[in-house]
Structure 1
Amino acid sequence: MRAATQTRYGSPDVLALRELPRPTLGARDVLVEVHASPVTQGDRRLRTADFPGIMRVPGRLMMGVFGPRQPVPGTAFAGRVVAVGAEVTRFAVGDDVFGSAMHGAHAELLALPEDGPLAPMPRGFTHAEAAALPYGGLTSLVFLRDLARLQPGERVLVLGASGGVGRLAVQLAKHLGAHVTGTCGRDADLVRELGADQVLAHDAVLPSGQRWDVVFDASGHGRYRALRPALAPRGRYLSVHITLGLLCAAAFTRLVGDRRAHAGVALPTPELLEEVAALAEEGAFRPVLARRFPLGELAAAHAFLEAERPRGTVLIDLVRIDLVRIDVAARPSAPPHVAA
C-alpha cells in the first residue's frame, strides 16, 4: 500500500510517499480503506514536535525523542471497511466508518481494533465531510458539554472561532442553546455563518461591559489570568492547551472563588464518535472544507495549512490519489458548509 512517512521532525519536506506492506489483522481488528484524512494543526504539531505547554517533554518521550516512533502520520480519517478479523462483531465489510488514530491515517489502509476510536459515518455525509468531524467535534463536545456543562441561555466566548476546533465549537454551542461570541482574524463572515451571535477581532480588547458564562480558548493563546475579568459569576474558563499556569489555576479555583479554570483532554472513544455522528445528523455540525490534496502532495498540504491559514479543513483525498488537487469551492452547494 502507499503511505506517507516521516522519519524526522521538521518542515513539510520531511514527509515522503512510500510503499509499505499491507497491515496484518488480528482476530478483533478492522481494516479500513481510507478515503479521506484531514491535515490539522494537531498534525502540524506532531510533524514539528511542537508540543504545547507542559507536554513539551512528555510529548517527545511519547512520540519519539529524535524522530517519530511511528513513521506514518495522520490522526483522523473516514473510509470503508474492507476486511475484519474472525472475532469482529461490531463492523462488517462494506461499512462506511470514521474515526481517530494516534498515527497511520495518511495511508491507503489502516488497521484498528474494533473497540478503538471508530464509528459508523453519519448518514448523508461524504467521506471528506465525515473526516473533518473528529478533530474539532470531539474536542468541542468534551470541553463544552462535559467539562463546562454548558446550559441553554448561557453566554459563551469562543477564542479562535474560525479554527479547526473553534468552527465546530461555535456550532455546538448554538445547538446547545447558548448565546455565542466568537473571536477570529479575517473570517468574521464565516463565523457568523456558523451561528455566532457576535464576532470580535482576535486582537481587539474585549468589551468591558460584557461577561461570559463560558470562555473556551480554542486557539490555545489565551491565559486564565488575563481572561478572568471576562467571566461572569460562576463562569468557567477552558483551554485546548494544558500549561502549568492553567493547572495551577484549575487547582486554585476549585478551592477559592466561583470563577473556575478547567484543564482537560479530549480522548477519542467509540461512544464519543457515535455522539458526534448523531449531532452531525441532527445538523449541529456542518464541516467546513477548504481544499483537498492527493496523498502524494501531503507536504504541499502541510505547507498550504501553514502559509494560508485556510478557512476550512484541509483534506487528503486518497480515493483521487492520482488526480490534481481539487478546490472544494467548485463543488455544487450541499448541506455541509463549503468554504469559498
Structure 2
Amino acid sequence: MNGQPWQAWAEQLATGVALVDADLRVRWLNPALAELLGSGTRSTVGQPLALWLPAPEDLAQARRALDEARFVQLREAVLSAFDERTLEVDLGMQPDGEGGLLLEVHALAARSQAASPLSATLRGFAHEVKNPLAGLRGAAQLLQRRVDGTELQALAGLIIDEADRLAALANRLLHRDHAAQPGAVNIHQLLDRLSELLQAAPSPPRLRHDYDPSLPDVRGDADRLQQVLLNLARNAVEAGARTLTLRTRAEHGVRAGARMLRSALRVDVIDDGPGVPAELHDTLFEPLVSGRADGTGLGLALSREIAHEHGGELRCSGRAGETVFSLYLPLERGHE
C-alpha cells in the first residue's frame, strides 16, 4: 500500500479512503474523505482516529481488525466531522500489510431524508457504481488526450460528462445533499443532450422532434431531470423500439398526486415498441418491477420519484406500436 501509483489511483475515488498506523493515527486520506469530514488532508494526517470515530466500541473493532489481521465491517457507525456535524457511515477496515489499516468509508443518507423506500434500495446500488464511474472517467480522460480528431475527443468528453453526472446523482443518494438542487432548466436543451447520448449508442434509434419552442424554462434539478429522460428513452430502446419521438407541449389542469397544476410543461417520449405488458400496467412504477428478464425495475420507479420531487407526475399510456411516457412539470406562476 506504500506505492505512489496506488495513492494516485485512490485520490481519484469518490469513496472515502484512509490509512491508519498501528497506533490508530491517520497516516493518509484521500480528498473524498477529507471533504466528507470537513478538513484538509494535511491537517488530518497524524491525528488519532478517535477524533472522528469517537465510539469506544468502534475503536475496539478497529483494534480487533489490527490484532487479528482480518477484515471488519461497521454498519451505520457515527463519525464526528470537524465542523461539528455527525455523519452516519458504513466503514470497512482491513490490514494494509504494513502494520496498519486501510479504511473505506461510505456516507449514508440522513435518516430524516431517507423516508423513501426506493432511495433506501438505491443506496446500496449507489455505493457500487461510484468507484467504476471514477475508473470510467479516468479512462475517458486518457482517451481524450491520446486520440486524434475532434469527433473522437467529443465522444470521450461525452463519457466524462455522463460519468460526472452519474457520480453526482450517487452522491446525492448517499450524502446529506440528497435534496434536489433547483434552478432554471431549459427542457429542450436536456432533450438535445438526450439525442446526443442516444446517437452515440452502437445501434441508435431513429429520432423525431416535435417541440413547442414557446415553452418557458421550468424550475428543477437539471441532472435529475436528465436522468428521467434518459431512463425513459433507454427503456424504450431496450424493449425493442426503433423510432422515438420527443415531444413538448403545455397543458392545463393537470393532477399531480393530491395537487392540481393550473399549467404544466409536458414532455412525451413516444416509441414504436411492443408496449407495456398488460400484467404490469398497475405496478409499472413500483421498485423491482420490470418487463425484461434482465431488467432491474429501478429506472421507472426512480423516474417517478424524481417527478414527484419536482411537484410533477410521470404517466404511461398508449398501445403496442405507440407507447407514450409523459413527464409533467409545473410551470412558474408567471406562466400559468
TM over 0.5: no
Richer in helix (by share) = 2
Q: TM-score range by the shorter chain?
A: under 0.3
The structure having more radius of gyration, on CA atoms, is 2
Bigger RCO (CA 8 Å, 6+ sep): 1
State TM-score, norm by structure 2. 0.26
